[in-house]
């Protein structure tokens, strides 16, 4: 299946349309995304609970973290595919509901392809960044292990800058290339997931389409990344100002009231980030691989020249 090449302005278009996601059926789209956002917290909560029950030893933390990651690799591709299908149904005016996000869990709904694509892309991520660190990141794994050990030994206490080991040479080059590769693979992930969930492609075909589509549209993907960072910075700035004001006003009565006032603001920000993320995924796939939009219908007394 061929992919289309978009101009640099597509990066802005994907972000703008993602913010406006769900205008046709907000209950279904926002509801489905809220379900996924809530379920995304479950592995972390279970991990904290199990680590506490297992006395918080480093070995138990690694085992629990590995099990949580394995479960996420199986469950979340199904949820992502379900969200994309809910969004596509809403965008085309088909009836849908928040509970349709669980449709891929049913037999015969392409769940195996979604999980297979997610696992293959995860392996590709590990391979690419493993090669990057192995070739240019000499000393980086050891440095990272030392930083992690400091965090474990600190047991929640803030780490002083002087306690951190000196970073290895070439760290900036690795981070720069890693950022570029991350943007490219992120675009391939979004396009390929759309192909599996909505385009009816197999796992290998979706990976090829995703890589080809991301390569042909690397410039708008970079524009999207830059705009997303700027928008995120502005969002956090507003959040800190408004949240700080609410916390101050509420704390005049009771500290618990301040936290109660701030909580909906933070939860709303998390939900907005999920909405934008899934909206960008959908519109990127639709522009690069999906069916092109139909031309506008002309009145009966006009003909197209």
- Domain chopping of the chain, boundaries: 10-288
251 burial level (CB within 10 Å; 0-12, 13-18, 19+): middle
So what's the pLDDT on residue 298? 46
Structure tokens, 102? 């669980």
Determine the pLDDT at residue 3: 86
From CA 154, how far away is CA 146, in angstroms rounded?
12
Tokens of 30: 């926002």
User: What is the distance between the alpha carbons of residues 180 and 50, in angstroms, rounded to a whole number?
Assistant: 36
Query: Which structure tokens are listed for 100?
Result: 């349709």
Check residue 303 and give its pLDDT: 45
Cβ neighbours of 180 (radius 10 Å): 14
Which of 33, 12, 35 is CA-nearest to residue 22? 33
Report the distance separating Cα 78 and Cα 171, nearest Å.
Answer: 36
Residues in the chain with pLDDT < 70? Answer: 1, 50-65, 152-163, 291-305
Nearest CA to 17 out of 98, 89, 87, 99 is that of 87
Residue-level pLDDT at 228 = 92
Query: Is the separation of the CB atoms in 33 and 275 below 8 Å?
Result: yes
Closest C-alpha among 184, 52, 49, 67 to residue 121: 184
From the CA atom positions of the chain, what is the Rg in Å?
22
């Amino acid at each position: 299946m061929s992919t289309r090449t978009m101009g640099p302005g597509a990066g802005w278009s994907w972000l703008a349309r993602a913010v406006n996601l769900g205008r046709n059926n907000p209950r279904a789209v926002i509801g489905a995304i809220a379900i996924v956002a809530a379920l995304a917290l479950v592995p972390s909560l279970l991990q904290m609970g199990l680590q506490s029950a297992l006395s918080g030893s480093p070995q138990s933390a690694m085992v629990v973290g590995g099990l949580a990651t394995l479960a996420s690799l199986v469950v979340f591709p199904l949820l992502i595919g379900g969200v994309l299908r809910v969004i596509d149904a809403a965008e085309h005016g088909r009836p849908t509901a928040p509970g349709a996000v669980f449709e891929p869990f049913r037999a015969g709904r392409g769940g195996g392809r979604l999980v297979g694509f997610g696992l293959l892309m995860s392996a590709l991520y590990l391979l690419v960044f493993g090669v990057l660190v192995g070739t240019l990141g000499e000393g980086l794994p050891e440095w990272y292990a030392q930083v992690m050990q400091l965090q474990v030994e600190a047991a929640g206490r803030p780490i002083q800058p002087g306690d951190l080991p000196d970073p290895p040479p070439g760290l900036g080059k690795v981070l720069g290339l890693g950022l570029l590769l991350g943007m490219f693979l992120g675009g391939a992930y979004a396009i390929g997931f759309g192909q599996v969930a909505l385009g009816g492609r197999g796992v290998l075909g979706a990976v090829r389409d995703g890589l080809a589509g991301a390569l042909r549209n690397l410039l708008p993907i970079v524009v999207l990344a830059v705009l997303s960072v700027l928008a995120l910075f502005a969002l956090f700035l507003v959040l800190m100002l408004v949240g700080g004001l609410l916390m101050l006003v509420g704390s005049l009565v009771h500290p618990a009231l301040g936290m109660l006032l701030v909580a909906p603001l933070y939860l709303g920000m998390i939900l907005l980030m999920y909405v934008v993320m899934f909206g960008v995924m959908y519109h990127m796939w639709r522009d690069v691989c999906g069916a092109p939009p139909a031309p506008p219908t002309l009145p009966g007394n006009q003909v197209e020249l």
